[in-house]
Amino acid sequence: MRWPPLAILIAPCLILGLASAESARAFGTVNAAHQSAEHEMITRRALGCDGAPPAAPCLEPATLDELAGVPGKAGAVGYPDLSTNFFKARAHCDNGDQPGGAALVACRDAMEANMRAAVADAAGLLDARGAIRPAQVTLGCVYAFNLKGRAKCNMLQDLGLVLHAAQDFYSHSNWVDATVDVHPAGLGNRLPAAFIGLRTFPKSPPPGLVTGCYSMWGSCGDRINHEGLNKDLGPIGPTAGSPVGPGQTARGNHGANFEHAVEAAAADTRDKLAVLGERLVATYGRTKGTRMLCAVTHDDPARAC
Ligand SMILES: [Zn+2]
């Protein structure tokens, strides 16, 4: 749920860690009020090593906490709701209801820019001999004001921006929704959208794909509205295969829309980590690229990588 004027007041408070309330622009970020830390749970479900598919990269516990967040401290995936990114439609894949789909392309392109930033920031992980630089991989990351610090934290912040937008894509669009008895009609997909897969870059979104108009003031008039289309809220189990739902918005509660949005968002989240690994190898070569992905996914890279 959104309480728009309140959100403007609360968002800066959340940046300072002073408040928790219903301001998240998306799948929820804080575990309070009407939200259940949905971004955190989707990220844990997707990237935690418990239940991860064999051979898929996964995040060790302390690193996962830094990306997903813990009670009382939002992780990198919640950072877009708690910073100036809150106000940017492209950080949440909003406003994709206009002909031509420019807002959806802008959201995809913002994901790509942040993925490229993660690859660039990886350069700081290794010294001139290709070994892990221990001071660059310690945790205790602080995400604030778009500032950069240690290389691993920088990469987690970049990845958090990518994943937040990707997860919102499924919550805010009709990609997974039931195809009947709803307006706008759902597209009935279950798998992640190649449109935001960051392996190809179509100039236009798939036909019929829309996201809702988001207004800070609660109404977009006759446009397809975020309030009517979002599947932002509901309980999500923190490991792969654990229970999901029921959705707690009208659109999410229609059929299995919420459950399908969560599963597609989790699958896409897993794929984004795979894309990062592919890009690191393509950019830095197999030896360094593999070590860099190891540094991002392991809690003690100086020992493990
Ligand atoms: Zn969002």
Give the model confidence (pLDDT) of 98-150 as tens digits. Answer: 999 999 999 999 999 999 999 999 999 999 999 999 999 999 999 988 889 99
Q: In this structure, what token pair is assigned to residue 257?
A: 């829309």
At residue 182, the pLDDT reads 83
What's the CA gap between 294 and 63, in Å, rounded?
11
Residue type, 111: M
What's the CA gap between 90 and 111, in Å, rounded?
9
Helix intervals (H) in 198-238: 226-229
What's the CA gap between 50 and 69, in Å, rounded?
17
Q: Ligand 1 centre from 172 Cα, in Å? A: 9
Q: In this structure, what token pair is assigned to residue 48?
A: 């935690």
Per mean pLDDT, which range of 22-36, 226-240, 258-272 is the poorest?
A: 22-36
Between 248 and 28, residue with greater pLDDT: 248
Beta strands in 18-87 (DSSP E): 69-70, 73-74
Rounded to two decimals, what is the model's pTM?
Answer: 0.90
Confidence of residue 34 (pLDDT cuts 50, 70, 90): very low
Rg of the chain over CA atoms, in angstroms?
18
Q: Ligand 1 centre from 281 Cα, in Å? A: 30
Q: Ligand 1 centre from 25 Cα, in Å? A: 4
Q: Ligand 1 centre from 77 Cα, in Å? A: 9
What's the CA gap between 64 and 272, in Å, rounded?
15
If you write DSSP's letter for every residue of 77-113 in order, what string do you get? TTGGGGSGGGG-GGGTT--TTSTT-HHHHHHHHHHHH
